[in-house]
Structure 1
Amino acid sequence: MKSSVVEPLKRLEELHRSYRRDAALDEVFIVLTIGASLIATFGLLANSAAVVIGAMVVAPWIMPIRSGAFAILLGDARLLSRALRTLFIGVLTTTVMAALLGSSVGLPQFGSEVAARTAPNLLDLGIALVAGGLATYAKLRSDAVSSLAGTAIAVALVPPICVMGLLISHQRWSLASGAGLLFATNLMGILTGGLVLMAWKDPVLRQQLRRSHLSAANFALTGLLLIPLGSSFINLLGRARQDNTRDAIRSTILSFLRRETLTFGDQQNVDLEQLDIDWGRNPPVIRALVRVTDPRLPTFKQVSAVQDEINKRQSLRFQLVVQRTAVDVVGPEEAPNENNSSASNLLPSDQQPDVLPQLTAPPTLDKTTD
């Protein structure tokens, strides 16, 4: 009976010592933080996803974060402050370095790798929750430590702070706050996922979770993130629906160009170059840019017929507006060659014109009458 009580306490003390080491601000943490920050910032400036992924693997921030999750679970304010201090110094160092690099390089605009980290939503929180659970599981099970690198890639910690620093250097405060929100989402997701995994894995830790006031505060802060993240997720769904509708309308118009019964005109004379939808109008306005060789096509009647067909296939009514771009073929005329065979000899064999034997009519006999 006594051993059944002492052994879990001994295990808890071993975990406590291990997590204290993870929360330490030492040379390894500082060197890896600086290296990961430089790699991530250069990768973002170069718009290279592969380089940014490399920075995720190097970054050591997940160590103090999962130590913070353990401290929250036990209600250990001292260990929590130690973990947060280490993380704060890493975040501050990375922000300053990224801002200095961003101002020194002076790019007029950033690429898609930066833009992708400025609008987090509920999907990012879900990823962070799973990653936090896996990071904690790798701590509790030594045979699962190989998953730690993949977990670091799945939930990015350093790149959002690098993005925030780059955007601050260009005074793009709104986008910088979006990158900061992504980091906060990943931070709280890892903490919450780690708490849930530890409570699920160990009965002793499950009892600690029920008694910890810090755990309740952590869940409350994570719940507050649902407000901005939910709004972003709704906007994401709306944009996805608009993109699907635009693709469906584009496919409909392209199919009309290939039909004889209903079309903008001769397929060889009309080509759809661009299609956009103005969703701010009611009804939404479809603006189609077509390239034509006959400036009279498409006619008003043809556009009206295509608009009617589009509205039959969509749940909303749309107005179709077509802008024509005429293509003029310019070139001087030239008399044909006298000997066409000499010109044909210059063509490759697969482009030689077909030569058919010339058939001559049989001679006719004049019939005379006596």
Structure 2
Amino acid sequence: MVKIIRNLFNLHEGEAGKKKTLEVVKDNISFTGSNLWILVCAIMVASVGLNVNSTAVVIGAMLISPLMGPIVGAGFALGVYDFILLKKSLKNLLIATITSLFVATVYFYLSPFKEIQSELLARTSPNIYDVLIAFFGGLAGVIAITRVEKGNPIPGVAIATALMPPLCTAGYGLAIGNYKFFFGALFLYCINCVFICIATFSIVKYLNYPASTQIDIKNQKQVKYGITVIVLLMLLPSSFFAYRLFKEQQFKQNANLFIEKEFVENGNTLIYKKINYNNNPKIIELAFLRKNYSEDEIKKLTNKLNTFDLQNTKLLIKQNATDNLEALKKDILNEVNKNGSFEIEKDQRIVTLEQKLIENTFDNKQLFSEIKTIFPNINSISLSNQNITTVDTTVVMTTLFYDSKPKLSEKDKEKLKNWMQKKYNLKKIELTIKD
């Protein structure tokens, strides 16, 4: 059984000659002539893709980029203790990195469009998952390099490990003076470089590549200690960012559950939601269609936050949301621009919002519970705005359809009509009995 498993995972089968593989790796290290031109073109393509928020263009740039060469070269150099190759690899990687940063910074500085897009935001907060992607992506890439038949993992590795976009995002951070973006993206780039290199080193050692020169045990230990220190330097902050990401996702899930249980299930139509985890205290900001809350109600809802594990959180409810529709639209559009996570264009979002407001003009569930208290004979209601069109114009008429057994008296009808007009500030309302 052990032999079968060993044969299944045998990397020596189909392995290319070690000498030939090393020659291929060395040929891909240099960043002069055509390689440098290809790099510059890839940077421009990636920068434009990030700028216009096009995932397809960004993927294309990853496939063009030759950045993997010196990183894999450094991994091989460490594995065979070739310090001349290591020096050459690191030198070329530095040239490629500085060139990429320079070109991306110049592009974003000159670009008239400097809005923060989702593709840019995705490269500013690295975490432990990026470490795993870089390491296992690097493993797949290096295994493919050492094969006689190269297969098709290399393009996939280039996309998964994503070396080019973080560099371009770092350039964007420099161009707009946002150093949080710059250092976050640069850290992600360093994670990718280091763990692709470590994955390469691991495969080289596993395949028993011979040392280029005899090296004493002391120097071998120094290499291993150096790699261990670098791994820890990358893992510790990455783990911290991963923990923050986990806590943020947990907070958002709890916040959405709170909104669902305390508002939506009670028949309130939610038209605006903003959850801010990074504030202190954290903020949940909401607005509802034709529903206002008193200070006592907001206080009771705030007290319920702890039961949903939402400690240190402030609940803000926008009152009279439909009366301040234009301001609310601006808030929603600001969130669209800020998060960049909506694929629908702004105009489509506005149309969707307006349609929703028209379709849900009144909260009939809430209205029915109130009417039933005053007029127990009423069994069902439906309040809506009707468009009455004539030759010359279109008039919006508010109509209440209701069913009552026994039927309401004329006095009760007048009382109901006056109550509805006062409640919704209406000049006129029509009452219609359901058949």
TM-score (normalised: structure 2):
0.63
Residues 307-331 of structure 1: per-residue CA shift (max 9 Å, x gap): 6766555585977664432659677
What is the match of residue 112 of structure 1? 118
What is the match of residue 195 of structure 1? 201
Partners in 1 of 2:236 and 2:64 — Cα distance?
32
User: Closer, same or farther in 2 for the Cα pair 1:144/1:330, shift >3 Å?
Assistant: farther
What is the match of residue 325 of structure 1? 320
What is the match of residue 229 of structure 1? 238
What is the match of residue 184 of structure 1? 190
User: Closer, same or farther in 2 for the Cα pair 1:26/1:193, shift >3 Å?
Assistant: same
Partners in 2 of 1:174 and 1:319 — Cα distance?
26
What is the match of residue 270 of structure 2? 272
* Post-superposition offset of 1:99: 1.2
User: Closer, same or farther in 2 for the Cα pair 1:109/1:309, shift >3 Å?
Assistant: closer
User: Closer, same or farther in 2 for the Cα pair 1:285/1:324, shift >3 Å?
Assistant: farther
Deviates more, 1:186-195 or 1:215-224: 215-224
Deviates more, 1:30-39 or 1:310-319: 310-319
User: Closer, same or farther in 2 for the Cα pair 1:325/1:128, shift >3 Å?
Assistant: same
Counting aligned pairs with the same residue, the percent is 22
What is the match of residue 288 of structure 2? 291
Residue 259 (structure 2) pairs with residue 253 (structure 1) = no
* Post-superposition offset of 1:31: 2.4
Q: 3-state SS of the aligned residue for 1:142?
A: coil
* Post-superposition offset of 1:18: 2.6
Counterparts of 1:1-370 in structure 2, within 5 Å, are 11-202=17-208, 204=210, 211=220, 213-257=222-266, 270-275=268-273, 287=284, 289-291=286-288, 293=290, 298=293, 312=307, 314=309, 322-325=317-320, 327=322, 333=428
Partners in 2 of 1:128 and 1:241 — Cα distance?
25
Partners in 2 of 1:179 and 1:280 — Cα distance?
19
User: Closer, same or farther in 2 for the Cα pair 1:61/1:212, shift >3 Å?
Assistant: farther
User: Closer, same or farther in 2 for the Cα pair 1:279/1:100, shift >3 Å?
Assistant: closer
Partners in 2 of 1:188 and 1:12 — Cα distance?
23
User: Closer, same or farther in 2 for the Cα pair 1:130/1:208, shift >3 Å?
Assistant: farther
* Post-superposition offset of 1:62: 0.7
Task: Answer whether contact 2:130 2:192 (CA < 8 A) is retained.
Answer: yes
One-letter amino acid of the counterpart of residue 44, structure 1? L
User: Closer, same or farther in 2 for the Cα pair 1:194/1:322, shift >3 Å?
Assistant: same
TM-score (normalised: structure 1):
0.73
* Post-superposition offset of 1:291: 3.2
Q: 3-state SS of the aligned residue for 2:138?
A: helix
One-letter amino acid of the counterpart of residue 270, structure 2? L
One-letter amino acid of the counterpart of residue 88, structure 2? R
* Post-superposition offset of 1:89: 1.8
Deviates more, 1:41-50 or 1:300-309: 300-309
Task: Answer whether contact 1:66 1:135 (CA < 8 A) is retained.
Answer: no
One-letter amino acid of the counterpart of residue 236, structure 2? I
Task: Answer whether contact 2:62 2:163 (CA < 8 A) is retained.
Answer: yes
* Post-superposition offset of 1:300: 6.1
Deviates more, 1:208-217 or 1:63-72: 208-217
Partners in 1 of 2:52 and 2:224 — Cα distance?
40
Partners in 2 of 1:81 and 1:286 — Cα distance?
50
One-letter amino acid of the counterpart of residue 319, structure 2? R
Gaps of 5+ in 2: 1-15, 323-422
Q: 3-state SS of the aligned residue for 1:189?
A: helix
User: Closer, same or farther in 2 for the Cα pair 1:31/1:240, shift >3 Å?
Assistant: same
User: Closer, same or farther in 2 for the Cα pair 1:145/1:67, shift >3 Å?
Assistant: farther
RMSD: 3.5
Task: Answer whether contact 2:62 2:159 (CA < 8 A) is retained.
Answer: yes
Partners in 2 of 1:51 and 1:281 — Cα distance?
34
Residues 49-107 of structure 1: per-residue CA shift (max 9 Å, x gap): 11111100011111221111111111111111212222222222211111111111133
User: Closer, same or farther in 2 for the Cα pair 1:252/1:178, shift >3 Å?
Assistant: same
Partners in 2 of 1:23 and 1:181 — Cα distance?
22
Partners in 1 of 2:136 and 2:192 — Cα distance?
10
Gaps of 5+ in 1: 1-9, 258-268, 337-370
User: Closer, same or farther in 2 for the Cα pair 1:323/1:217, shift >3 Å?
Assistant: same
Task: Answer whether contact 1:252 1:310 (CA < 8 A) is retained.
Answer: no
Normalized per residue, which structure has more strand? 2
Task: Answer whether contact 2:124 2:184 (CA < 8 A) is retained.
Answer: yes
